Structure 1
Amino acid sequence: MIKRILLPTDFSANSNNAIHYATQLYKEEECQFFIFHSCYVPGYAKSNLLSLDNVDQTLIAAKAEAEKKMEALKTQPPFNAKNTNHTFEYLIEIGDLTDNLKEIIKSKDIALVLMGTRGETDSKHLILGSNAVVTMEKIRGCPVLAIPGHIKFKVAAEIVFPTSFKTTYKETELAALLEISKLANAAIRVLYIQKDIDFSKLQIENKAVLNQILAPTTFTHHKLYNQNLHNGVRSFVQSRDSGMIAFVNKKHNFFGSIFSNPMVKDLGNNTNVPILALHNLEH
């Protein structure tokens, strides 16, 4: 089955780096990549673009510039590489990035969004840029993998998966984690920041279910004590030189507490590894 992957770009070095990362990670897989640019012009919405009377020179110029940059992008690696496993489709849409992503994910049956963590307009001091954070929080149709701009593709030795064991995971929710673990030949390190002395019955049951789901991979369990969540994850990743962090995005709960400000800035500026946002299907 062909893997359909959406690669948003603002034509920055960071987004180009994410595109290279995607094509290397899936080098041996048959993939259709959708290179997508969301052309946002303040004051315009798709509902207002039903007639040419509503389209002025600002919008025309913005789209023309985006098309020019997209044509230039097509001439660069990896698009001119001879990998018969990969095909590319190029999309430019007017409007809000999140709305456009949701529409494309649905219409193109996208399995994964892979993007840079800091775009052209984001602060140079913030590794997790605003678009990456919003995408990880708002996009529910498929997993989102965010790649820091300075991270070049290399085989990740391990993927850190923090959990409280208070959620019953499903195979479909963790499918992308298992797939990337296999592609990168990376072990999964299940990390529990211990707050309670003993596991509840529910936590014991959920751990057993998680072990069954992760059985096709190499995985180990780890505990940290007396640390808050984001500091514990950060120190664990840094001490082991881990290659990726994966979270299940449970809104207003575990994942939300990590990626709500000011934790976004703290984790993003101190972790410097790709982040895989998975999704709790109950939401």
Structure 2
Amino acid sequence: MMNQLFGLHHVSLVTSNAKKNAQFYMNVLGMRMVKKTVNQDDVSVYHLFYADQKGSPGTDLTFFEFPGTMATVKGTNSISRVSLRVPSDQSLTYWINRFDTLNVPHKQVSKLFGHNVLEFEDFDGTPLRFVSDEKNKGVSGGIPWKNGPIPLEHAIYGLGPVSITVSRLALIRSFLIDVLTFREIAEEEDQILFEVGEGGHGAQVIVREDTTHSPERPGYGSVHHVAFRVADRDALNEWIKRMNQTGLPNSGFVDRFYFQSLYVREFNHILFEFATDGPGFATDENEDVLGERLSLPPFLEGQRAFIEQQLEPLN
């Protein structure tokens, strides 16, 4: 049996402004900044990581700062909404009140595959939703940030189902089931729910077909890619072999220092990543001070003075 995916690892998005991004995700949403580093492919800009108390895999939103980029032009062939898990239906009421106080745009609570959800946006127009874990079973969530501004009984503690919109449904269905070992478990109107591993909100993808709109033109407020958890380097090597057999374009092995990765684009051009659970964000700093200083992987440490000079301090 091939190494199975454990569920979601992280989701990476694009922001127009790192300082405003930190203010929103830490002060408004109450997520912990577990790593403040730079885009390894462009060290002039931040790469920020928000997660649970420990920076656990499956709880992590990451943002590339691309100042000067245009707003996203929404369309098909995109990761169209990202979910964040909260403990209960009552939590959604708490968040509505908080958003109304802080003028965060949101919709009303609705149902999605039997669970209560609340859709909202950040200052970049990033499409987000809270999903209530009240009736959820499957992959467990993380540990909410204990020093954050949100009461722990309502705090974010994991990633939920990622929504993907594609122009060719048959191709992504085959990729998810035949290549990634997902199971198709439900259909609701024009949306199909897939899950992998233990299942539940931390291991789900929702797919909708849209053949009428043009492909999304990504900018700030877009979702760059979704990453799934693999156990370790050996498991990742198995996935590299598997992807090479598909003929899909892929990155081969990439060392991100905090985890090791493989990137592949499926037939609708959605970017998928496979990322190891370790070594984790406490590799180069203690858990109690995660994200407080600029962290650089060893291969960039020699450029620290130059890199810090280019970055506007966030605090």
Q: Same fold (TM over 0.5)?
A: no
TM-score, normalised relative to structure 2:
0.25
TM-score, normalised relative to structure 1:
0.27
The structure, 1 or 2, with the larger RCO (C-alpha pairs under 8 Å, 6+ apart) is: 2
Instruction: Point out the structure with the larger strand share.
Output: 2
